[in-house]
Amino acid sequence: MKDDLIVVAGGGGFIGGHLTAELRHQGYWRIRSVDIKPLDEWYQVLDDADNIVADLKDLDACRSACEGAATVYNLAADMGGMGFIENNKALCMLSVLINTHLLMAAREFEVERFFYASSACVYNADKQRSADVIPLKEEDAYPAMPEDGYGWEKLFSERMCRHFREDFGLYTRVARFHNVYGPFGTWDGGREKAPAAVCRKVIHAIETGQHEIEIWGDGNQTRSFMYIDDCVMGINRILHSDIEEPINLGSSELVTINGLVDIVEDIAGVKLERKYVLDAPKGVNGRNSDNARIQKYLGWEPSIRLRDGMEKTFRWIQHEYRTRPQLTGVKS
């Protein structure tokens, strides 16, 4: 119902901002967007939404957020790119309080639907040691050996959603995101992910005349990257589906990090000297999404080409870079 109250936890973040904007575009007019960041640091702000600054690790904040709500999307987490995840394991683990307290509040106020944003970081590391990776199936999360810190928090929170559904009848849906990218996201400061980082580094090289780029690892590690529009569409398809177990939400278009740099160089019309930092955080050697299950249940999978999404992302970051001159000296 378009007049139901919808809560977007993490609404000031990258994915939460896009989701809030899409819900508003679809005609939902009662949207409560909640984020810990000051309002002027939100990536997108809808003036006609109920925008609340609050720390959702606190139970009372979750109760205030969920009161009267029909649907809750939990996209809130303390996270970032691989550099942040590997160096802030305790902070990542503390996000477990957000999902736990939101579930408790959702049960108390009889929320009709609850969506949890999990991550491909839940997958067993032994299945991601080779760059020539076999796409990860949902059952590959067990036996458990997820990304330390962040991955364990996500896997635990998935189980919480399952048990609140089984024990209390709370309607929960869980999607495992595979590397989401696009405009209106983090592109500098240490929390950015590979697509945004590569865009920024290429732009920095062009703007400064220093025609080189730093790459973490040897560049042969493989990934898939999902454009934000596919992510938002997938979130709502999964929320309103019969899929009770966690499901992959990611592109199956595999690329190496070197290949990602090739794409951005082609978009920018430049060729850079590559400097490889072999002792930098680089994550697993290979990860890709097996989309057989989402195709079976929804007859759909993320399909926006990486080249197309990266061009939009590059142009947006380029504009941001050039209009924020105080940041043009950021380390490349």
Report the alpha-carbon angle 6-160-123, nearest 5.
Answer: 105
**Is the link from the previous residue into 146 a cis peptide, with omega within 30 of 0?**
no
Report the SS3 class of residue 205. helix
Q: Is residue 314 within 8 Å of residue 183, measured between CB atoms?
A: no
Q: Give yes or no for a contact between 64 and 101, defined as CB atoms under 8 angstroms apart.
A: no
29: left (phi over 0), alpha (psi -120 to 50) or beta: alpha
DSSP track, 257-295? HHHHHHHHHHHHT---EEEEETTS----SB--B--HHHH
Rounded distance between C-alpha atoms, residue 272 and residue 210, angstroms: 9
Query: What residues contact residue 137 under an 8 Å CB cut-off, 6+ apart?
Result: 248, 290, 292, 293
Residues classed as catalytic: 150
Q: Tokens for 290? A: 């097996």
